[in-house]
């Protein structure tokens, strides 16, 4: 079983994969994630690129059919599980190195921070009003 910090890194990895699909960042992220999973094995890297392409395709299809949110959630969970599985299978010293690489990847490609006064990564259903109170104390 992974530590809370490693589980959080895996979850952030799943989120960043899904958020980058279909964006300008996709090509770079796709390569980095494939290398991360491949661990130096070109055949595995190629397989991971194909898997990432299937994910991007599924997200695009779901967006056109009105199922984007459901597919987004599903793919985040799939990728989190894949990141966790790889981390769990590594020896302790390799696990820490791989986790550091994953954290760097997430930082570079950006899971939005939850900084004070910032709203991101939220889904709103129904009427929603946001009020800027940044000048109030």
What's the pLDDT score for residue 118? Answer: 37
Contact 79, 55 (CB under 8 A): yes
Q: Output Rg (C-alpha) for the chain, integer angstroms.
A: 17
How far does Cα 23 stand from its chain's mean position? 13
User: So what's the pLDDT on residue 68?
Assistant: 92
- Binned average pLDDT, 10 residues per bin, the chain of 137 residues: 92 96 95 96 97 96 93 97 96 94 94 41 44 44
For residue 81, what pLDDT is reported?
97
Contact 89, 24 (CB under 8 A): no
In this prediction, residue 15 carries a pLDDT of 96
Q: Output the pLDDT for position 8.
A: 94
Taking the C-alpha atoms of residue 2 and residue 117, their distance in angstroms, rounded to an integer, is 32
From the list 56, 37, 64, the residue with the least C-alpha distance to 48 is: 37
pLDDT of residue 1: 78
For residues 72 and 110, what is the distance between their CA atoms, to the nearest angstrom?
16
Question: What span, in angstroms and rounded, lies between the C-alpha atoms of 43 and 15?
Answer: 25
CB atoms within 10 A of CB 109: 21
pTM of structure: 0.78
pLDDT of residue 110: 83
Q: What are the start-end ranges of the H helices in 65-137? A: 68-88, 92-109
Instruction: State the alpha helices, DSSP H only, in the chain.
Output: 4-20, 26-38, 42-64, 68-88, 92-109
Domain locations in the chain as residue ranges: 4-109
Residue 111 confidence (pLDDT): 57
């Amino acid at each position: 079983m992974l530590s809370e910090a490693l589980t959080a890194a895996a979850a952030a990895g799943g989120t960043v994969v899904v958020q980058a699909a279909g964006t300008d960042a996709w090509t770079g992220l796709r390569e980095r994630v494939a290398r991360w999973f491949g661990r130096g094995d070109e055949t595995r890297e190629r397989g991971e690129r194909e898997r990432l392409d299937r994910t991007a395709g599924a997200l695009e299809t779901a967006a056109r059919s009105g199922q984007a949110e459901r597919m987004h959630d599903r793919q985040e969970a799939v990728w989190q599980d894949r990141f966790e599985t790889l981390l769990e299978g590594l020896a302790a010293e390799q696990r820490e190195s791989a986790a550091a690489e994953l954290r760097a990847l997430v930082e570079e490609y950006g899971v939005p921070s939850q900084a004070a006064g910032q709203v991101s990564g939220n889904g709103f259903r129904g009427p929603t009003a946001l009020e800027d109170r940044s000048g109030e104390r």
